[in-house]
Structure 1
């Protein structure tokens, strides 16, 4: 029997017009890439032949596989020098690779590159140090006679400040792990302690509605208390050093529904009051972004709103009304660099205010140029919102959240961005910690292990470790490669209210009135 061939395929016709032939997709050209170190120009690996459209993240994975023996991948930034172009103060102009070689280099509008060129990609590691996880308690420091409510390390990591229900704040020396000074003056619980970015002053806020300034070297008060709030002070924020190094101002939020901005370095007088909220203001954050990078104030309130203000004069910019219950916690992706100012992991100290301001500006810009300043707000409605209020493209119009972050089963207690801004972690009264992508708000993982509400979180400076403090009297350090528990730190005899990461030390305090320092 003869084999029957299938009938020829009929051409599809739409309304009498034949279907157009699909345009052939041009394959991306292959290019030869040489990865070199930005520091000394030495090759990190042999030259490789790659498709030009390989994404930036894949380039990073490739460099890590070719050049490092460490298990932990190192984040890199990539750039290509434009040959012969030295218009940048004598230094070669660089093109930063943020998408792919094809998109950023071959398609560059002003510089001609050919796929036949050898592309010398300069690689700069973004985390050149590694924090070791704490495994043991090295010191238990007594002194407070009531529960420890807040703790904050100084920008250099040499000093720790704690505030307590005994109406005192205390300073501790982290080199010797011994008490340094007792700061007495408040007439009620000390609810918040914050260092200025140059480590010259410590500000404390209390149940008595007063804000006080202290000299950390002598432990003496700087002038009288700054009075004006009619109810207790809930939060304090300093003006970033890259905006004002010589005389940073101070903002305080209060249960009385107001935020006050003080001229802390000169007369300690009130500059202006923000009075737009109709209920307790729970958090104030001083951001480094805004129009022209002049700084903005973010405030979160029990009136279910987050408000954004121009820090110069206090003019309202945005009111964000998406939450359905009290907004209790805020975090910025720039929090770490704003807090540590000019002090990075190298330990260099600036010689002048101008140098401190330029160092701080360089650190801030390095983080904020790739992604503009982002805000996360957390609420008792069990959700978080991620906001990009000042995008690089200019005017944002009416602000809409980038993402709504859902999954927690009870109210949020704390949210914190990792120092590199890649991730955010949230803690809640449902005993869990959740990890989210810092730029998109996409859910990454849930960290389970606590058997009580999780009160507080702190990231290590290299963004590889996260520590959580809980009602169950333990601290837990989480490995962000596996999203599993790395180290359990039992030792407190009651609830742990506050925790902070200092270099490779973890400090904690809580209801048992003890400050504990944990080391590797």
Structure 2
């Protein structure tokens, strides 16, 4: 017998003069107009156009059209992110994790004027900061597409090739393994190290791979064949902590390689004839990080080194001459990032990953990408330390005075040691990860605190940015990988699946790779 559907409930009918008739709700008040000043986040606080009066319920897309019209970019519109900085009087000194700006995701009325704390009213001049966004968008990963076995011990480092076609992982089993990202299958096993592989680094055209490890040796590999390029580069007396290739826009044919070590030295190698070029010996304790930047007066850029002697040193990469010693940290300096890291790492390859036809073309494309980023703010540096703080530096910009460099600002808020810091590819933001289980966001041009990202329940080891600078991914001791929404500063996607601590993570195109103590490589995608 079929189930009978009950008849609809009868609605009581009220007449005009019925005393029991419920009151008619008042009509909604129209959204007020507001006075808006668009400001360029990319060039400090430069106004974009004139101060204008607009309806506060203008949608975010309408604001984008208006900002492009004010900037005379109607023919080639730029995608923007909009935010409003909170006034200093609104800052709560007892709440260090509170955001310092409000992001406009819907409209000024909904996101700014209707905020429960009423930071602004319709009578204020609303200063809207415009941050240019990439013209392409990376899709956030939502699932694990592959779990790759092969390593016999914990995976300690992972790095995508500049084009994103190959992945290199280093492990405690003394091996480097290459993985094909198109098929998500093993490609080659690179054997030769006699100790844990602690770092892997791709040359910016993907023609060579360098690895360093606990055996104090640096090895070079041909990623196409999986064969070593000659014998190991020997000279360090303790384990190798970090590697950095000379930028392609400086040397497109045979870039040199710098290696830092626990033995307190940095060695620069000529990879063409496999000889030692020079040794940097000024540090008095372990050199934890080396970065090869494109700034400075010399034709070969500069080397940045961070050490457990509590200093950051900057060297002329031509001859290894010491330029500056940055002494403001109170404990070991364990991490460094440059606002040019992404363009230096990927060289001539943009989001289309088109292969240059020659070294000259590769150099031209890489130089164009580098200048597009560094010409507006110069090359900026952030150093992180076990003293729970970070320092923001502009060594060749506005804070250089003679032979001394003063930090632009000190970044405070973490309650424990800083594990990792990374600039976004566009240089607009920086993120730091700490043993206090939090991630902190900073303005990439001023160093001002933006927001804290909370969700991990154990120390955060590593961070990676998407190429469009819209997504941040983190790896933690709590065995999870997390993707963060940088509009709301909240968790976007939780990627569980690892069964133990996750030590490394990297992001290329729309793929994320992670590895850790469970000996598994996981590939995540949309």
Query: Do the structures match in fold with TM over 0.5?
Result: yes
**1:248 counterpart = 2:283:** no
**Cα deviation, residue 391, structure 1:** 1.1
Asked whether 1:196 is paired with 2:196, we answer: no
Q: Aligned in 2, Cα 1:54/1:124: closer, same or farther, shift over 3 Å? A: closer
Q: RMSD of aligned C-alpha atoms?
A: 2.8
Q: Verify: 1:309 aligned to 2:293, yes or no.
A: no
Q: Deviation at 1:210?
A: 0.3
Q: SS at 1:324's partner residue? A: coil
Q: Per-residue CA shift, 1:292-316, capped at 9, x if unaligned?
A: 5631000000011100000001000
Structure 2 residue 186 is the aligned partner of structure 1 residue 179: yes
Match of 1:399 among 396, 402, 405: 405
Aligned-pair CA distance for 1:140: 0.1
Q: Using a 3 Å threshold, how does the CA distance of structure 1 residues 501 and 396 change in structure 2: closer, same or farther? A: farther
Superimposed CA distance per residue, residues 383-411 of structure 1 (whole angstroms, 9 cap, x where no aligned partner) = 00000000179865420000100000000
Confirm or deny: 8 A CA contact 2:399 2:407 kept in the other structure. no
- Pairing partner for 1:469 from 475, 479, 482: 475
Q: Does structure 2 retain, via aligned residues, the 8 Å contact 1:76–1:125?
A: no
Q: Which residue matches 2:509?
A: 503
Structure 1: runs of 5+ lacking an equivalent: 1-50, 82-122
Q: Per-residue CA shift, 1:262-313, capped at 9, x if unaligned?
A: 001x111000000000010000000011125631000000011100000001
Please list, as runs of the form range in 1=range in 2, the aligned pairs for 1:58-73 lying within 5 A after superposition: 59=48, 69=61
Residues 76 and 124 of structure 1 are in contact (CA less than 8 Å); yes or no, is this contact kept in structure 2? no
* Residue aligning to 2:343: 337
C-alpha change, 1:79 and 1:290, in structure 2 (3 Å) is farther
TM score, norm. by length of structure 1: 0.78
1:52-451 paired onto structure 2 within 5 Å:
55-56=39-40, 59=48, 69=61, 127-264=134-271, 266-291=272-297, 294-391=300-397, 397-451=403-457
CA separation in 1, counterparts of 2:133 and 2:437?
A: 33
Runs of 4+ in 1 over 3 A off after TM superposition: 51-63, 65-81, 123-126, 392-397
Aligned position for 1:515: 521
Deviation at 1:59, TM superposition (A): 3.9
Cα deviation code 1:217-260 (max 9, x no counterpart): 00000000000000000000000001110110000000000000
Q: Residues 319, 504 of structure 1: CA spacing in aligned structure 2 closer, same or farther, 3 A cutoff?
A: same
More deviation, 429-438/386-395:
386-395
Partners of 1:413 and 1:502 in 2: CA distance:
22
Aligned length: 428
Q: Is the 8 A contact 1:427 1:456 kept in 2?
A: yes
Calculate the TM-score normalised by the size of structure 2: 0.77
